[in-house]
């Protein structure tokens, strides 16, 4: 699909659940999250049908996300079926990493080829800050859960030969001290560590972002000059750099200070079946109602194409910041980060 600004739309991010086993302070409220009732969540069969239709429209790459995608039962079998859809060339997941060991245990020998890449979110390497940012019990470290489980998974995914990217959201007054250590995870191993600017969604306005340029300057003071990497890593908007002596790359997603919309290639499908053209969209196309109302493939295809045609030229996050409020009440866990 090519939208009215000439962008090729070939990437679909699917949130398979809005539920999560963590409560990151910038993503979800501490309590009182109203989960979508089960009957409002698309079944795997419904998602697979939509993906087949979207593949017919030119979607080639799919990201499975959430909420936390690995809390949904049957996710291994779902991903295996997703891979079989004609036209889908790449399937990746974004996860907080807590259940990755179980995921690969269940996948068994198929694990090596089940996904083409794993993004793991990790905002700190400090156990105490980890439990604060994720609002988890502080003794999880002692029990080998939480942060240790994520670090074990990191090695396991890497040992399977699956490309890994780490995502960190820098928060002022919270994890500045962790940023060099997180970046260093790309020193001895060929993995990407990416720093994502906080976007004004959901619970984000309780935190202050650190612009990517500031993070870059901090890393340069510790490790030396960042050299732009001309190659492409993955499907996202990150700009990648090399650091002296680093096997992997450092990425920046400067979503707010710089924007990345000019080359945006994606649509998003929420767990409730709403197809949206942009992270900052307030509205979308309710494909669940269409699916359950008996729409034909041709009707669903036309609806998805119409939605893609409405893709805005850019997000409106800067305007949101100027008004000093979080316009978008939905957090990333709702939209599908
Ligand atoms: N639970 C999975 C995880 O944490 O990776 C997948 C969903 S999560 C919503 C996807 C990504 O969105 C995570 O890397 C998280 O750090 C990021 N995220 C959540 N809220 C954000 C915000 N307001 N601004 C920027 N990134 C955010
Ligand atoms: Fe859950 Fe991911 Fe949001 Fe953290 S960022 S609360 S892990 S959905």
Average pLDDT rounded to a whole number, residues 97-112:
95
Q: 161-176: string of b/e by CB count within 10 Å (b at 16+)?
A: ebbbbbbbbbbeebbe
pLDDT one-digit tens code per residue, 43-58: 999 999 999 999 999 9
What is the structure's pLDDT at 336? 65
- Ligand nearest to the CA of residue 24, numbered in listed order: 2
Which residue, among 154, 153, 162, has the nearest Cα to 112 in the 3D structure?
A: 162
pLDDT higher than 70, residue 315: no
pLDDT higher than 80, residue 334: no
Q: What is the dihedral of CA 298, 301, 307, 309, to 10 degrees?
A: -100
Distance 5 CA to ligand 2 centre (A): 32
Report the C-alpha gap between 64 and 12 in whole angstroms: 9
What is the structure's pLDDT at 326? 40
Q: What is the percentage of the chain residues whose pLDDT exceeds 70?
A: 92
DSSP 43: P
Minimum mean pLDDT range among 72-81, 111-120, 305-314, 320-329 = 320-329
What is the structure's pLDDT at 321? 41
State whether the beta carbon of 18 lies less than 6 angstroms from ligand 1. no
Name the H helices within 172-263: 179-183, 212-223
Average pLDDT over the chain, rounded to an integer: 90
Report the C-alpha gap between 34 and 243 in whole angstroms: 43
What is the structure's pLDDT at 335? 64
Report the C-alpha gap between 266 and 137 in whole angstroms: 36
Average pLDDT rounded to a whole number, residues 28-51:
93
pLDDT higher than 70, residue 11: yes
Q: Which is more confidently placed, 307 or 87?
A: 87
Q: Is the entire prediction scored with pTM above 0.75?
A: yes
Average pLDDT rounded to a whole number, residues 88-99:
96
pLDDT one-digit tens code per residue, 250-289: 999 998 888 677 778 889 999 999 999 887 777 789 999 9
State whether the beta carbon of 169 lies less than 6 angstroms from ligand 1. yes
At 314, give phi and psi (nearest 5°): -160, 165
- Cβ partners under 8 Å of residue 330, min gap 6: 201, 202
Distance 69 CA to ligand 2 centre (A): 10
Report the C-alpha gap between 286 and 283 in whole angstroms: 9
Q: What is the percentage of the chain residues whose pLDDT exceeds 90?
A: 71
What is the structure's pLDDT at 328? 47
- Ligand nearest to the CA of residue 134, numbered in listed order: 2
What is the structure's pLDDT at 333? 72
Q: Which is more confidently placed, 231 or 259?
A: 231
Q: In 33-158, at which residue ranges do the beta strands (DSSP E only) sit?
A: 61-65, 90-95, 117-121
- Which of 25, 93, 96, 337 gets mutated to test ligand 2 (max ligand atoms within 8 A of its CB)? 96
pLDDT higher than 70, residue 325: no
What is the structure's pLDDT at 15? 96
Minimum mean pLDDT range among 58-72, 151-165, 199-213 = 199-213
pLDDT higher than 60, residue 322: no
Distance 197 CA to ligand 2 centre (A): 15
What is the structure's pLDDT at 279? 78
């Amino acid at each position: 699909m090519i939208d009215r600004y000439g962008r090729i739309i070939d990437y679909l991010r699917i949130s398979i659940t809005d539920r999560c086993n963590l409560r990151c302070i910038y993503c979800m409220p501490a309590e009182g999250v109203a989960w979508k009732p089960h009957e409002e969540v698309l079944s795997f069969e419904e998602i697979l049908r939509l993906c087949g239709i979207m593949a017919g429209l030119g979607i080639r790459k799919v990201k499975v996300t959430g909420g936390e995608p690995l809390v949904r039962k049957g996710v291994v079998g779902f991903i295996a079926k997703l891979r079989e859809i004609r036209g889908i060339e790449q399937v990746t997941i974004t996860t907080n990493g807590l259940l990755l060991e179980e995921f690969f245990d269940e996948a068994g020998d198929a694990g090596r080829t089940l996904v083409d890449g794993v993004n793991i979110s990790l905002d700190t390497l400090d156990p105490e800050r980890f439990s604060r940012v994720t609002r988890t019990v502080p003794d999880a470290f002692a029990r080998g859960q939480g942060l240790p489980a994520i670090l074990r998974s990191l090695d396991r995914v890497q040992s399977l030969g699956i490309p890994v990217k780490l995502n960190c959201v820098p928060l002022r007054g919270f994890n500045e001290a962790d940023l060099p250590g997180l970046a260093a995870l790309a020193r001895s191993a060929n993995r990407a560590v990416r720093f994502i600017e906080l976007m004004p969604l959901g619970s984000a306005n309780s935190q202050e972002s650190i612009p990517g340029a500031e993070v870059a300057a901090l890393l340069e003071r510790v490790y030396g000059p960042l050299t732009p990497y001309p190659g492409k890593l993955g499907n996202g908007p990150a700009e990648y750099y090399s650091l002296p002596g680093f096997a992997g790359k450092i990425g920046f997603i400067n979503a707010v200070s710089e924007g990345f919309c000019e080359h945006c290639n994606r649509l998003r499908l929420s767990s409730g079946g709403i197809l949206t053209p942009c992270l900052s969209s307030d509205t979308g196309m309710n494909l669940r109602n269409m699916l359950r109302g008996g729409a034909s493939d041709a009707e669903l295809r036309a609806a998805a194409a119409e939605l893609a045609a409405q893709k805005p030229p850019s997000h409106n996050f800067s305007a949101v910041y100027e008004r000093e409020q979080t316009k978008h009440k939905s957090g990333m866990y709702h939209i599908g980060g």
